[in-house]
Structure 1
Amino acid sequence: MIWLEFAILLAAILVGARMKGIGLGVMGMVALAVYIFLFRMRPADPPIDVMLIILAVVTTAATLQAAGGMDYLVRLAEKILRSKPSLIVLMGPLVTYFFTLFAGTAHITYSLLPIIAEVSTKKRIRPERSLSISVISAHLAITASPISAATAALLTILSGKMELLDIMKVCIPATIIGTLAGVAVCWKKGKDLDKDPVFLEQMKDPAFAASINADVEESREPLKPGAKTSVIIFALAVLLIVLVGAFPNMLPSFGEGAGNLSVDAKGHVKMAAVIELVMLASAAVMMLITRTSAAQVAKASLFNSGAQAVVSIFGVVWMSATFMQTNAAVIEATLGDMVRAAPWTFAIALFILSILLFSQAATTKALMPLGMSLGIAPAHLIAMFPAVNGDFFLPGYPTLLAAINFDRTGSTHIGKFLVNHSFMIPGLVSVAVSVAAGFFLAGILV
């Protein structure tokens, strides 16, 4: 029976992934309905905590965008990238990494990728090198950001055993090391543009050559008056979350009793609730000080992206959690001894599921509880956290497609066999090195 149930789960994920957008969520609900009404499976708890965190963080990021803060950050990034064009293969991924780490979402890279592509092309550095690892580094940063939904999901699962600071002090250096490993393999990837026959053939077209060689001077609108102020408010909110994570005694304690979504059984306010509270409060402060209307926030592209993410995670995680809960005994009996003997093998399962779910948060919420039930040490689960970044494996993730489209030279590409694309090698190397570095750092720091 478990194989039939698994086949239904896999079919829902595959069909939902092809539908894109909210497809994973609605197809997850279809499979869940089959589980409940046909197989009489007891439904697990829906992922309310992760959904609320995504809503809070995305609403705040959308407020930052509506207030002009995102434009200010992009222009700051552009100055950094253009200052050292010969080092674009290094600077590109570092900028996307730290901007994603700060914002908690990789959506900010859509504005950075065309700049990285242009700087690379002007310097005649193969854009594939900088674009491929820049996309991967942004994904890795999600599993190091203190305000990302994936980090919050892991923190909720490890509640009482690990703190936010434990995740950050392992995952930030581990993913930076992984990013640098990806930079190393991309440094001389492919032919330089001045030796690439495809690019040289394209340059024979006068119109194409003129567009490549032209100096780009965009006539931009001036920044909104509250742009810099909104960035400062957002930064202070992130800092406050990190401080509370590092010093949980800053929060009031309400005595032992029945826990809920906000307070645990010991009476401590949960970190997920802190993130939701601080993020939405900072959004309110931004709106008031910068005079940004609620309508402007609702129209921001990040708000729309976040709404889609909430629906997707709602359906697919609820479906996956129900499957895991029903078959926990069988799964533990099958995998328990192997995983306890070699904990790193669980990272492979995280990676494979993330390929199918296209979401770090959904993968974390769906599979990390199984790791806990299998007896894997919390420190090892933190070390394996970067393994949920398998969403590059199949080239359908929006950031990958955006990078391909922004590369006018065509060097960033999807191969004939689908999986032999520009992001495969830097992605595999970066994730593998991040996990290895995570195990090393977890043994020292946690």
Structure 2
Amino acid sequence: MVTTLVLIQLVLVLVCIFIGAKVGGIGMGIYGMVGTLILVFGFGLAPGALPIDVMLIIVSVIVASAVLQSTGGLDYLVGQAAKFLRHHPDHITFYGPLCCWLFCLVAGTAHTCYSLLPIISEIAQAKKIRPERPLSVSVIAASLGITGSPVSAATAAIISADILGGKGIELGDVILVCVPASFIAIVAAAFVQNHIGKELAQDPVYLTKVKSGEIDPVADEQNLHQAETHPNPQAKYAVWAFFLGVIAVVFFGFFPEFRPHYVDANGQLTAVSTNNMIEMIMMSDAALILLVGKGSIQKTVSGNVFAAGMNAMVSIFGVAWMGDTFFKNNQDFFVNHFSGLIQSVPFLFAVVLFVMSIMLFSQAATVRTIYPLGIMLGISPLYLLAMFTACNGYFFLPNYPTEVAAIGFDRTGSTRVGRYVVNHSFQVAGFITTVVSISVAFVIIHLL
């Protein structure tokens, strides 16, 4: 009876995602909220945690990016990058994801990639490269940055005393194993992804958008040429102001001891959280960008970056809340059903981690929930460390905030959710990076 009920709820979640993806735009958020309402009113589930911090991070980062666009800074940045990419444009599929990975590795959160995704998309589109290729790998690379970051919640969880920290695994071990494994996996995925999908000029969705006038490739090329040859000198200062904010986020993420501290309700001296730092810094940075770049608030809210960001926020509001409501209420069911499987074949623990990360929607939650089981079953701590990147499986369903944002930022429509929901743009890159990173991690632990 319980199994049937959980399956019915899972089907409901998938149907809502399917309908929302087909409607497009904010449809995913709207139908995600319908699913949340049915789960709560129809099945009596407790509402999951609202994705407030994720939404506020998106707002703060997108406001800064949209202000940068209004000052001409985004065009300037794209133009400077285009100079490098002109003779070897295919490299955006490699360099874009590696930049996202590096940002997230240092900052400890995948949400820092929001500032890079629109830039990657615009460079690819202007150079007639299918944006799906770099965007799909970039989103996966952002997640890989978490499972290796010295400041992420997932890393803090895995090296805690009650998990691998008590078995002799320290932060240096995580960095030594997971960072090179992730780097190699991203390069491998980018190589494959660079040959997937039709060329942009042959993509029917893109051609439809061109025909309708929604996209003007001639104007895009002219704007790119203008940005390369006659950059707005004022925009340069806006770009530096933008990067100042990004650098500040990375710095405080990497060195939490420099964050402001306050006395909490328990009388303990507590550092400001990473999420709060991102929100305060990036929203304040928008003011600095406006000042030095002489931007316009009216242009900011009318630009496509702002529109795409707000679309992503609405989508995340409904979909992420629905996912959290379903998985949190059925957590015991999934843990109990997968624990029996792992007892017979220990190496299947990586599969369990992968599947559970889809359900739990968080690397840190997956570590906290499933890793004690691996320790109890006697799996080698080094093997458990090598399987760390399997906790990034939540790309499987296209409802994670970075996936939704990437789909929104791709004006060509090449980054999309397929007819069957699970056949989306991030699937190939996700599976390649998972398999390669775990394989390389096992090689590293055997060599070192």
Q: Does the 8 Å CA contact 2:157/2:364 hold for their aligned counterparts? A: no
Residues 203-247 of structure 1 deviation map (CA, whole Å, 9 limit, x = unaligned): xxxxxxxxxxxxx87762743343111221222222222221221
1:252-306 deviations in whole A, cap 9, x for unaligned? 33235369xxxxx762211100111111111111112212122221112111111
Could you say which residue in structure 2 is the equivalent of 1:176? Answer: 183
- Is the aligned partner of 1:7 residue 2:11? yes
List aligned pairs for 1:23-422, cutoff 5 A: 23-83=27-87, 85=88, 88-89=89-90, 91-98=91-98, 100=100, 104-105=113-114, 106-117=117-128, 133-143=133-143, 155=152, 173-185=180-192, 220=226, 222-257=230-265, 267-338=270-341, 341=346, 342-346=348-352, 348-349=354-355, 364-365=361-362, 369-375=365-371, 383-384=389-390, 386-390=392-396, 397=407, 402=412
Structure 2, gaps ≥5 residues long: 104-111, 161-170, 198-220, 375-383
Contact kept, 8 Å, 2:9 with 2:326, in 1: the verdict is: yes
Equivalent-residue separation in structure 2 for 1:39 and 1:287 (angstroms): 48
Counterpart CA distance in 1 for 2:361 and 2:278 is: 18
Q: For 1:135 and 1:26, how far apart are their aligned partners in 2?
A: 24
Aligned residue identity for 1:230: A
Partner Cα distance (2:356, 2:83) in 1: 37
Whole-Å Cα distance in 1 between the matches of residues 241 and 263 of structure 2?
32
Distance 1:9 1:50 in 2: 20
CA distance in 2, matches of 1:4, 1:298: 41
Write out per-residue CA displacement over residues 176-212 of structure 1, whole angstroms, 9 at most, x where no aligned residue.
Answer: 322321355478899xxxxxxxxxxxxxxxxxxxxxx
CA pair 138-30 structure 1, distance change in 2 beyond 3 A: same
Q: Give the aligned residue type for 1:297.
A: T
Task: Give the partner amino acid of 2:263.
Answer: G
* 3-state SS, counterpart of residue 375 of structure 1: helix
Overall identity of the aligned pairs, in %: 25
Query: What's the C-alpha RMSD, in Å, of the aligned pairs?
Result: 4.6
Distance 1:136 1:285 in 2: 31
Comparing 421-430 and 53-62, the one that deviates more: 421-430
- Distance in structure 2 (CA, Å) of the matches to 1:382 and 1:231: 36
Alpha-carbon separation, structure 2, partners of 1:272 and 1:30: 28
Counterparts of 1:420 and 1:5, CA distance in 2: 21
- The aligned amino acid for 1:15 is I
TM-superposed CA distance for 1:315, in Å, is 0.9
Structure-2 change in CA distance of 1:303 and 1:339 (3 Å): farther
AA at the equivalent of 1:250: F
Aligned residues: 379
Amino acid in the other structure paired with 1:143: S
Report if the CA contact (8 A) 1:384-1:439 is conserved: no
The yes-or-no answer on 1:20 pairing with 2:24 is yes
- Asked whether the 8 Å contact 1:92–1:116 carries over to 2, the reply is no
Deviation at 1:27, TM superposition (A): 1.0
CA distance in 2, matches of 1:284, 1:254: 25
Q: Is the 8 A contact 2:18 2:420 kept in 1?
A: no
Cα distance in 2 for residues equivalent to 1:299 and 1:142: 28
Q: Distance in 2 between matches of 1:348 and 1:111?
A: 32
After superposing the two structures, state which structure 1 stretch, 174-183 or 287-296, moved more.
Answer: 174-183
8 Å CA contact 1:171–1:386 kept in 2: the answer is no
Residue 143 of structure 1 contacts residue 151 of structure 1 at CA under 8 Å; is this kept in 2?
no
Any conservation in 2 of the 1:99–1:108 contact (CA below 8 Å)? no
Cα pair distance change 1:161/1:297, threshold 3 Å: farther
CA contact (8 A) 2:137 2:193 kept: no
CA distance in 1, matches of 2:61, 2:445: 27
Contact 2:121 2:410 in 1 (8 A): no
- Alignment partners' CA distance in 2, 1:255 and 1:136: 42
* Rounded Cα–Cα distance in structure 1 between residues aligned with 2:85 and 2:240: 22
Residue type of the alignment partner of 1:104: C
Larger displacement relative to structure 2 (290-299 or 270-279): 290-299
8 Å CA contact retained: 2:407, 2:413: no
1:155–1:162 CA contact under 8 A, matched in 2 = no
2:176, 2:59 → 1: CA distance? Answer: 26
TM-score of the pair, normalised by structure 2: 0.68
Q: Check whether the contact 1:24–1:316 (CA below 8 A) recurs between aligned residues.
A: yes
**Quick one: which amino acid aligns to residue 107 of structure 1?**
P
| Cα distance in 2 for residues equivalent to 1:423 and 1:156 | 23
